[in-house]
């Protein structure tokens, strides 16, 4: 399967919202309530991205992975707290798990953070998200011991900070 990673555009945001909803529901089904998952609708996810992307356009970048015209995944990176370049989001359609799409997106995300001038890279992952934690660990990221409590949709979660080795 030929996968293209390119800069995200405003025209991608409806599909990004739908994919974000799908991936969150799949990844968090054991970690969050059914009500919280239901609240992560494609419409709400699209609205959140449609507000966020233009507001952060100067400091952040969206990347999309596609096969032909099908969106397989997206990443969102930019500067932020603590002087780190942040991997703010990395989501791959569950149907594309195991195909290398996440690895390609992560590599481009790291390159993009470096191009934006960030030498130190970090991300937050929900404690208990075993698939994501295993992926980041295998990709050379490590939990640096930092934890936070943060909201994901209507639910409060415990999150772990991972840094790139």
pLDDT band at 81 (very low <50, low <70, confident <90, very high): low
Mean per-residue pLDDT, 143-158? 92
**How many folded domains does the chain comprise?**
1
Sign of CA dihedral 12, 18, 20, 26: negative
Prediction pTM value? 0.95
With a cut of 80, say whether residue 162 has pLDDT above it: yes
With a cut of 90, say whether residue 27 has pLDDT above it: yes
CATH at residue 132: 3.40.630.30
What are the pLDDT digits (tens) for 84-101? 999 999 999 999 999 999
Domain extent, residue 56, equals 4-164
Mean per-residue pLDDT, 25-43? 92
Do 75 and 89 meet the contact criterion of CB atoms below 8 Å apart?
Answer: yes
């Amino acid at each position: 399967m030929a996968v293209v990673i390119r800069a995200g555009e405003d025209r991608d945001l409806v599909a990004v919202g739908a994919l974000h909803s799908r991936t969150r529901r799949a990844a968090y089904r054991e970690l969050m309530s059914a009500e919280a998952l239901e609240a992560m609708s494609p419409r709400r996810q699209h609205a959140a991205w449609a507000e966020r992307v233009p507001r952060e356009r100067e400091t952040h970048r969206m990347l999309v992975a596609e096969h032909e015209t099908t969106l397989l995944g997206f990443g969102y990176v930019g500067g932020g707290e603590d002087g780190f370049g942040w991997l703010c989001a990395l989501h791959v359609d569950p149907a594309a798990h195991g195909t290398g799409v996440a690895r390609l997106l992560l590599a481009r995300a790291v390159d993009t953070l470096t191009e934006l001038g960030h030498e130190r890279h970090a991300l937050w992952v929900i404690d208990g998200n075993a698939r994501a934690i295993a992926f980041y660990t295998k990709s050379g990221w490590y939990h640096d011991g930092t934890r936070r409590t943060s909201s994901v949709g209507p639910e409060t979660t415990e999150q772990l900070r991972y840094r790139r080795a």
